[in-house]
Every structure is written in structure tokens, then in C-alpha cells.
């Protein structure tokens, strides 16, 4: 078996080497990390990211660093939106890991548990600790008292809508309730279907990703945790999801969703929206940058606060992916050089430029306080309001069977009993929570006094 695994890893690395001749964006480079550096030669670093919306910015910034740094360091950056986590796993298994990694909310905990990330505490200066201190969060970028990444930006969550299709359908304003969302999607489809235009879409090829950028926001604004966790009870309860999933299923059953959404990924969805084929979807504040550079569009579009279940705002939408940005690979042979690169990337000038160009809203208070409003079309609807906030981080568990995204999508496509789906999810997720708590992997704390409405305005107090 060990020989078989080694053969598979070798085959992957060989395939990567061949692919590197064709496309920097799609093919990871692994040749420089462990090479010894002779006196006078450049120290070459490999940097892997999964982001695409800001890749032109990243390339340009890396090029500037390569030209201006006085330490003879050269960084090569590669974006891999597909199979990023699997690629990192294989790279570590074959000792061909990059020097710099891009962790996020989904990968940081697994990367820390697997030992992929280097603690940054010994590198941080007093000035940097002061600059980022308020952004340190347990189970986000700090684990067992050690810091593994620092933030740059976060994402607000919004409803993105095609103003042209709204006008065509006679809709004056974005929906504020789930009922209006369903009705508006139906109206847009009725007037646009002949031209291949549909009312709603989500990237259901990745069901959990789709719900985490849509149902999450609707639920949090409605006063519920967007990941199925009940902070008051200290356990999982997916019951609040029912209203959202029923609305999504209704749009699917009505034919108001773009055909084939079950196999639609986020970039193809964006491409369809840019072509004027989708009336509404929900996503992050990365979209202005996407429609500026990745999928330039001539349509008139805007962003608005997502609808709530009944039109009443009882909480706040989560400020997403705000705890991590870059980290140093534990397997890098050039960690000091990697830290010099990270220090440059986390400098005020780079972080401020990133915000002002509209790639993400700064999560660093000192940057947010002085940065100018991004000059980019569509950003107005994504700017932080009193209804954006940092939610408590739910415990990370490994559940047996379908995750909630896949389970709810299966119901949307196949029907059945939603109550049964919810009951099954509650049972399996709480069993996983009990197991994780017993092993010490997570600490479960009840907070009977938790009030989602108290989160309102907290992002504006900084």
C-alpha cells in the first residue's frame, strides 16, 4: 500500500511538471522550495493561492516585491481554484510543498492539525502585534495560543441583482422577504426565459459553498447562526434552515432557477450573470473585483442586503473569511525569506491598496480607518453597515454522511420530507460534536444570553 501511495504521488508531481509548461494559473509549481541556495543566488519562494478574483493584483504586487526587495528573494505565485486542498495534501505527502500558503476559514483548521502551517509568533514584531491584536480569534487564526495567519480583508454578504432584468420584469426594488425573492425570480423568468434569462442561481456544484454564501446570510440577518449551530443551546439545530430551503426548492420547482444549477460552479455562474442571463444570486463582496477584471460586463447590476425570512432584521450578516490571508509552510527551507515576503504583503501600503482597489474590505482596523472607499463599480452595496458583524465561530466537526449542503440539495432535487432531513442532520452533527468534545478537539460552550441583535453596529465601532 505504501508503495502504491508513493507511486500515485510521484505521478501527480510528474503531471504537474508537464502541466507547468502550459499554464501558470492552473498548474502549481513545486520545483524551487527545497533547492539549496548558493551564495549570490536568488532565494526562490513558491506561493500557492486559490483566489482568482485578485490574481492580477497578486501577480503585480509579487513582481514589485521581486524587483525592489534588497534580500535577493524571488517569489513565484500560482493560483489554483480547483482542488487546492488536495494539491496541498499531495505536495506535503511528497515533500514538494510550497513556501507560502493561502489558508481560509475552511482550510486553516485542517492545515494546522496536519502541521502544514508555521506559527508566526516568533516572527511578529511588537508593532505588528499591536496592529493585528484585535483581529486574533481562537479557532480562526489562533490555535492553542499560537498565531498561524494574519488577516487582510473580509467579505460582506449581499444579494447581487441585474437591474436591467428587474426593469424588464417591472420590479422596483430588491426583495426583502423570502416570499418576495421567490416571486421576483418567477417574474424575471417569465419575461426572460425566451432569451435564456432566469430569475435565480447558485453554485450548487459545491452545495455547502452555495449555502454558505446565501442561506447563511439570510439566516444570520433573521437572527440565526448561518452554519446550523445554536449558540444558546451549545448544539446543532438546522430547523431554521427549513424556510430558506423551501424557498430555494420552490424556485427550482417553478423553473425560476438557471437550468443545470446542480452542476454549476461559481465562476461559470459569474460568467452567466455577466452575460445578463441571471437575475439574482447571493455572494461575497469579491464580486465588484470579479466584474472589473475577471468577467468584465456591460450589464447594470447592484448589490443589496439579502432578504430575511419574514422581512424583519433580527441579527446581522457575518463578515466572512476575515481572519486569515497568508501563512508560511512548515516545510519551507526558507522561512526567514518567506517571512520577509509576508512582512511586505502585510505592510500598510499593500493592505490599503488591496482595499482601495476593491478586492476586499479591510479587516484590519488601522487600515479600514484610513483607506479610501474603493473606486470600483458596484462596491457601494457591499460597504459595511450596522447589519454586518463578526459572529461567534461554530465548532468544527467531522460529520459522517452527507454534509448539510449536500443533504439540502438532495432534498431540493429529489423531494421527500424536509423534517426528516433536518432531524437526520441534527442527529449526525450533534453526534460528531459530542465525539469532538470528548476527544478534546473542540470546546462546547452554551451561551443562554446570546442575542444576535446585539451584534448590530459592532463593525462600525472600530
Query: Are residues 337 and 311 part of one domain?
Result: no
**pLDDT for position 88:** 96
Copy the grid coordinates of residue 294.
Answer: 475577471
**pLDDT for position 224:** 98
Among 133, 60, 140, 155, smallest CA distance to 108 is for 140
Among 323, 261, 320, smallest CA distance to 286 is for 320
Report the Cα 322 to chain-centroid distance in Å: 9
Q: What average pLDDT does the chain have? A: 90
Query: Are residues 368 and 402 part of one domain?
Result: no
Q: Is residue 386 part of a domain?
A: no
Task: Write phi, then psi, for 240 (nearest 5 degrees).
Answer: -60, -20
Q: Is residue 383 part of a domain?
A: no
Q: Is residue 243 part of a domain?
A: yes
Alpha carbons 284 and 57: distance in angstroms, whole number: 18
Average pLDDT for 413-442? 96
Alpha carbons 462 and 31: distance in angstroms, whole number: 43
Question: In this predicted model, what pLDDT tens digit does every residue of 207-254 receive, in sequence order?
Answer: 999 999 999 999 999 999 999 999 999 999 999 999 999 999 999 999
Query: Are residues 440 and 296 part of one domain?
Result: yes
The boundaries of the domain holding residue 449 are 157-318+391-460
**pLDDT for position 448:** 95
Q: Is residue 83 part of a domain?
A: yes
22 pLDDT above the threshold of 80: no
- Eight-state DSSP code of residue 138: B
Query: Are residues 188 and 73 part of one domain?
Result: no
Query: Are residues 144 and 239 part of one domain?
Result: no
Q: How many domains does the chain have?
A: 2
Tell me the CA distances in angstroms from 380 to 49, 156, 287, 294, 301, one per residue in order.
Answer: 27, 11, 12, 19, 11
Confidence band for 446, pLDDT divided at 50, 70 and 90: very high
Confidence band for 18, pLDDT divided at 50, 70 and 90: very low
Q: What's the chain's length in residues?
A: 462
Alpha carbons 53 and 70: distance in angstroms, whole number: 29
Q: Is residue 223 part of a domain?
A: yes
Alpha carbons 142 and 155: distance in angstroms, whole number: 20
Task: Identify the three-state secondary structure at position 159.
Answer: strand
Q: Which residues pair with 158 in a beta bridge?
A: 283
Q: Is residue 333 part of a domain?
A: yes
Q: Where on the phi/psi map is residue 204: left (φ > 0), alpha (ψ -120 to 50), or beta?
A: alpha
Query: Are residues 245 and 231 part of one domain?
Result: yes
Question: In this predicted model, what pLDDT tens digit does every residue of 277-287 receive, in sequence order?
Answer: 999 999 999 89
Query: Are residues 239 and 193 part of one domain?
Result: yes
6 pLDDT above the threshold of 90: no
Query: Are residues 328 and 306 part of one domain?
Result: no
Question: In this predicted model, what pLDDT tens digit does every residue of 292-316 receive, in sequence order?
Answer: 888 999 999 999 999 999 999 999 9
Query: Are residues 289 and 400 part of one domain?
Result: yes
Query: Are residues 452 and 339 part of one domain?
Result: no
Question: In this predicted model, what pLDDT tens digit does every residue of 127-181 receive, in sequence order?
Answer: 999 999 988 888 889 999 999 999 999 889 999 999 999 999 999 999 999 999 9
Whichever domain contains 113, its CATH number is 3.40.190.10
The answer to whether 45 and 100 are in contact (CB under 8 A) is yes
Q: Is residue 105 part of a domain?
A: yes
Single residue among 352, 377, 402 that ends a domain in this structure: 377
Alpha carbons 425 and 68: distance in angstroms, whole number: 53
Query: Are residues 94 and 8 part of one domain?
Result: yes
Confidence band for 39, pLDDT divided at 50, 70 and 90: low
Alpha carbons 190 and 192: distance in angstroms, whole number: 6
pTM, full prediction: 0.77
**pLDDT for position 249:** 98
Query: Are residues 421 and 278 part of one domain?
Result: yes
Confidence band for 25, pLDDT divided at 50, 70 and 90: very low
Q: Is residue 198 part of a domain?
A: yes
Confidence band for 54, pLDDT divided at 50, 70 and 90: confident
Question: In this predicted model, what pLDDT tens digit does every residue of 245-291 receive, in sequence order?
Answer: 999 999 999 999 999 999 999 999 999 999 999 999 999 998 988 89
More confident residue, 409 or 373: 409
Amino acid at each position: 500500500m505504501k508503495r502504491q501511495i508513493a507511486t500515485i504521488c510521484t505521478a501527480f508531481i510528474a503531471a504537474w511538471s508537464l502541466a507547468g509548461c502550459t499554464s501558470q494559473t492552473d498548474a502549481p509549481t513545486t520545483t524551487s522550495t527545497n533547492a539549496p541556495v548558493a551564495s549570490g543566488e536568488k532565494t526562490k519562494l513558491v506561493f500557492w493561492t486559490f483566489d482568482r478574483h485578485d490574481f492580477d493584483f497578486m501577480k503585480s504586487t509579487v513582481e514589485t516585491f521581486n524587483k525592489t526587495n534588497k534580500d535577493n528573494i524571488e517569489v513565484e505565485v500560482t493560483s489554483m481554484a480547483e482542488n487546492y486542498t488536495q494539491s496541498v495534501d499531495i505536495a506535503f505527502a511528497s515533500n514538494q510543498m510550497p513556501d507560502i500558503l493561502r489558508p481560509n476559514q475552511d482550510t486553516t483548521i485542517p492545515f494546522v492539525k496536519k502541521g502544514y502551517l508555521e506559527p508566526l509568533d516568533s516572527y511578529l514584531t511588537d508593532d505588528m502585534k499591536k496592529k493585528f491584536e484585535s483581529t486574533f480569534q481562537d479557532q480562526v487564526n489562533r490555535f492553542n495560543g499560537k498565531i498561524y495567519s494574519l488577516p487582510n480583508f473580509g467579505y460582506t454578504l449581499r444579494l447581487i441583482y441585474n437591474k436591467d432584468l428587474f426593469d424588464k420584469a417591472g420590479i422596483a426594488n430588491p426583495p426583502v422577504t423570502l416570499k418576495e425573492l421567490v416571486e421576483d425570480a418567477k417574474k424575471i423568468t417569465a419575461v426572460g426565459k425566451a432569451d435564456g434569462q432566469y430569475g435565480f442561481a447558485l453554485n450548487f456544484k459545491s452545495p455547502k459553498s452555495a449555502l454558505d454564501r446565501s442561506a447563511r446570510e439570510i439566516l444570520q440577518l433573521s437572527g440565526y447562526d448561518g452554519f446550523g449551530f445554536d449558540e444558546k443551546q451549545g448544539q446543532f439545530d438546522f430547523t431554521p434552515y427549513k424556510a430558506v430551503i423551501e424557498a430555494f426548492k420552490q424556485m427550482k420547482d417553478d423553473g425560476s432557477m438557471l437550468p443545470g444549477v446542480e452542476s454549476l460552479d461559481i465562476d461559470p455562474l459569474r460568467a452567466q450573470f455577466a452575460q445578463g442571463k441571471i437575475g439574482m444570486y447571493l455572494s461575497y463582496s469579491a464580486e465588484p473585483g470579479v466584474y472589473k477584471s475577471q468577467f468584465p460586463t456591460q450589464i447594470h447590476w447592484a448589490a443589496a442586503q439579502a432578504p430575511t425570512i419574514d422581512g424583519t432584521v433580527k441579527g446581522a450578516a457575518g463578515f466572512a473569511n476575515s481572519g486569515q490571508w497568508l501563512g508560511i509552510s512548515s516545510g519551507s527551507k526558507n522561512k526567514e525569506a518567506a517571512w520577509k515576503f509576508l512582512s511586505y504583503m502585510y505592510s500598510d501600503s499593500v493592505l490599503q491598496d488591496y482595499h482601495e482597489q476593491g478586492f476586499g474590505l479591510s479587516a484590519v482596523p488601522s487600515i479600514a480607518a484610513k483607506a479610501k472607499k474603493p473606486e470600483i463599480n458596484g462596491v457601494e452595496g457591499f460597504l459595511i453597515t450596522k447589519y454586518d458583524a463578526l459572529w461567534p465561530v461554530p465548532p468544527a466537526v467531522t460529520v459522517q454522511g452527507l454534509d448539510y449542503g449536500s443533504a439540502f440539495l438532495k432534498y431540493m432535487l429529489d423531494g421527500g420530507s424536509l423534517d426528516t432531513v433536518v432531524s437526520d442532520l441534527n442527529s449526525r452533527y450533534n453526534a460528531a460534536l459530542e465525539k469532538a468534545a470528548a476527544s478534546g478537539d473542540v470546546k462546547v460552550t452554551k451561551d443562554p444570553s446570546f442575542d444576535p441583535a446585539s451584534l448590530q453596529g459592532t463593525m462600525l465601532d472600530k
